[in-house]
Amino acid sequence: MVVVTGLVQGVSFRASMRDAALRHGVQGWVRNREDGSVEALVQGEEAQVEALIAWVEVGPPGARVTGVNRQRLEKHPEQEGFRIVVPDWWEEEGEE
């Protein structure tokens, strides 16, 4: 599990991370958190995951990453592909 803090919402971080994960052959998901951070579950070969984490530490243009907190999970269902998860609390701009 990875939690990324800083200016990471509203800058296409999730879509860019999905693209980077697919380029690196990493599986999992990414989502916004209510506190303004971004959380991701990443799975894959160690070198592939490390390459994605190196990308996460910088992020896409417009992002300002101030922290990357990593936590290894012992057990989690194996993921297929890499997807953007929209949390229940999230409302798209303009929606009621």
Catalytic residues: 14, 32
Q: How far apart are CA 40 and CA 38, in angstroms?
A: 7
Q: What is the CA radius of gyration of the chain?
A: 13
**What separation in angstroms does the CA of 6 have from each of 10, 13, 73?**
11, 11, 23
